[in-house]
Amino acid sequence: MEKERYIVLLENQEKKSLKKVENELQVSITSSEFLSKDNRSFDVIDNDNGVLYKNLGVVVVENMDEDQLKKAVKDDSNPIVYFEKEREFFPADEMKIISELKKQAAEISDKINELEQYLNNKPIPQKNFVEMEWGLKAVGIEKALYTGKGIDVCILDTGLDMSHPDFASREVDGKSFIEGEDWNKDLNGHGTHCAGVSAGNLRGDTGKRYGIAKDCNLKIAKVLSNKGSGTTSSVVDAIDWAISKKFRVLSLSLAAPVQLNEKPSVLFETVGMRALENNCLIIAAAGNDSSRPSIPKPVSAPANSISIMAVAAIDGQMRVAKFSNGGLNPSTGGNINVCAPGVDVFSSYPKGIRNKNYYFGLSGTSMATPHVTGLAALYMEQFPDKTAKEIWEMIETNAKPIEGLKYRDIGSGLIQII
């Protein structure tokens, strides 16, 4: 039978206490002071004898009943305060330690590889060292993981200055719906500015970022003349062309004022609905007819159609732009859906029209609209299975309300990256 020894700690070593222990454990205790080289502890300790190490207050006994020892510890009147089984100690085997360390190192190495693989595959946002226009910061572009790659975005406006250095090397398709005026020239500048906000990238002079969806497939429909005006039929013609080409987002920074309680055009309502049925989202400017705070005006056409997304403008202090139209005709449609930066927005611009370089600052719901268009392209790249209608809902759901501003003026709020 294997010997099991116990180390028993005593509260005191009074004779009375030692006697009690001897009686309870049915052993005879020899004090360590009587041990010698001819009378060693292992010669003494057996089933009937234990040794008391006086300096330690410890008794070593053999083959005890553990339950009995446990009871003794719990009993306050008993001098035994603690016990434990004797432990075995072995000399360290160096090779065994090395073998164990190697095994642990291999396990850690596997974990490191696993972590490395996870980090390599995870789309980590690049730390942004690029300066940005305030509008891009306001919608959270620094957090963007997408660039609109593969998404066809069409700007219906005054055309695009294809000689602009930011677009000259890009592949851009277009069509003019204005007789005698080319889509790839922009003697007005408005279209080039809007295209820049949606699909531009970095300024050539300062390196500051001003565009949202730099990798989208930019398409241009010239529906406004160089004077900046156009007809309903030109816009309908262009939308028909864009849908037939399966473009995903159409940006309309154009508007015609409407009166209070004026019903939206059935024509644009139908066009917007057919676009959505064809997985195409139309986003339009709410218009710039207001003189806030005293005179807000209703959302213009075609943004007042419920099948077309209406965009209001805010400034850098998160206030409604004084010119931005509001949802004053809610019973007939004509709500604002979201708002976006639209005051002092810097973007690409043809050189020499109003400026000495290739960039210019403009204000208007026209500038707010392409922010939403660019964001829609990012969402569409991020969620390729979502329909145009679902993307619209997501843009509104993720928009951020602005404290103190009304739904009437900013709809669901300031658009945001997700």
Partner 1 sequence: MKIYLAILKSDIDLEEFKRNLKEKKIKFLDHYKSVGIVKLQSEKKISENDFKKFCVSIEEDKDNLTI
Q: Which stretch binds partner 1 (CB under 8 A): 68-76, 179-187, 265-273, 304-312?
A: 265-273
Of 192 and 412, the one with the shorter C-beta distance to partner 1 is: 192
Instruction: Build a one-symbol-per-residue string for 155-174: x at contacts with partner 1 by CB under 8 A, - elsewhere.
Output: --xx----------------
Q: Distances from the Cα of 85 to the Cαs of 3, 6, 11, 253, in angstroms?
A: 11, 5, 18, 86
Q: Distances from the Cα of 328 to the Cαs of 258, 295, 306, 401, in angstroms?
A: 11, 11, 14, 19
Of 73 and 236, the one with the shorter C-beta distance to partner 1 is: 236
Q: Tell me whether residue 142 is exposed, middle or buried, using C-beta atoms within 10 angstroms of its C-beta: 0 to 12, 13 to 18, 19 or more.
A: middle
Q: How far is the CB of 373 from partner 1 (least distance, A)?
A: 15
Phi, psi of 43 (to 5 degrees): -80, -25
Using alpha carbons only, what angle is made at residue 154 by residues 150 and 155, rounded to the nearest 5 degrees? Answer: 140
Of 200 and 264, the one with the shorter C-beta distance to partner 1 is: 264
Instruction: Build a one-symbol-per-residue string for 345-364: x at contacts with partner 1 by CB under 8 A, - elsewhere.
Output: -------------------x
Of 62 and 269, the one with the shorter C-beta distance to partner 1 is: 269
Q: Which stretch binds partner 1 (CB under 8 A): 99-107, 264-272, 339-347, 403-411?
A: 264-272
| Rounded Cα distance, 9 and 203, in Å | 82
- The correct pick among 164, 190, 214, 371 for binding partner 1 (CB under 8 A) is 190
| Rounded Cα distance, 381 and 246, in Å | 15
Q: Which of residues 138-157 bind partner 1 (CB under 8 A)?
A: 157
Bond into 302 cis (ω within 30)? yes
| Rounded Cα distance, 356 and 59, in Å | 99
Report yes or no: 220 and 191 within 8 Å, Cβ to Cβ: yes
- Assigned token pair, 171: 């592949």
Q: How far is the CB of 265 from partner 1 (least distance, A)?
A: 6
Short-list 294, 312, 310, 314, CA closest to 302: 310
Q: Which stretch binds partner 1 (CB under 8 A): 31-39, 133-141, 260-268, 330-338?
A: 260-268
406 counts as binding partner 1 under rule CB under 8 A = no
Q: How far is the CB of 237 from partner 1 (least distance, A)?
A: 6
- The correct pick among 17, 278, 332, 416 for binding partner 1 (CB under 8 A) is 278
Amino acid at 30: T
Q: How far is the CB of 333 from partner 1 (least distance, A)?
A: 15
Of 141 and 249, the one with the shorter C-beta distance to partner 1 is: 249
271 counts as binding partner 1 under rule CB under 8 A = yes
Q: Which of residues 196-255 bind partner 1 (CB under 8 A)?
A: 223-224, 228-233, 235-237, 239-240, 243-244, 253-255
- The correct pick among 188, 201, 217, 373 for binding partner 1 (CB under 8 A) is 188
Report yes or no: 298 and 333 within 8 Å, Cβ to Cβ: no
182 counts as binding partner 1 under rule CB under 8 A = no
Report yes or no: 133 and 155 within 8 Å, Cβ to Cβ: no
Q: Which H or E element spans position 395?
A: helix 388-398
Neighbour-count burial for 346-372, b at 16+ CB within 10 Å, e otherwise? bbbbbbeeeeeebbbebbbbbbbbbbb
- Assigned token pair, 4: 């099991």
Q: Which stretch binds partner 1 (CB under 8 A): 9-17, 213-221, 263-271, 410-418?
A: 263-271
Q: How far is the CB of 121 from partner 1 (least distance, A)?
A: 40
Q: How far is the CB of 352 from partner 1 (least distance, A)?
A: 19
Q: How far is the CB of 131 from partner 1 (least distance, A)?
A: 28
- Assigned token pair, 246: 């399966």
- For every residue of 42-102, DSSP letters joined together read HHH-BTTEEEEETTTTEEEEES--HHHHHHHHH-TTSSEEEEEEPPP-----HHHHHHHHH
Of 364 and 411, the one with the shorter C-beta distance to partner 1 is: 364
Of 162 and 178, the one with the shorter C-beta distance to partner 1 is: 178
Of 224 and 414, the one with the shorter C-beta distance to partner 1 is: 224
Residues taking part in catalysis: 157, 190, 366
Using alpha carbons only, what angle is made at residue 255 by residues 188 and 366, rounded to the nearest 5 degrees? Answer: 55
> Which residue ranges make up the site for partner 1 (CB under 8 A)?
157-158, 188, 190, 223-224, 228-233, 235-237, 239-240, 243-244, 253-257, 265-267, 270-271, 274-275, 278, 364, 366
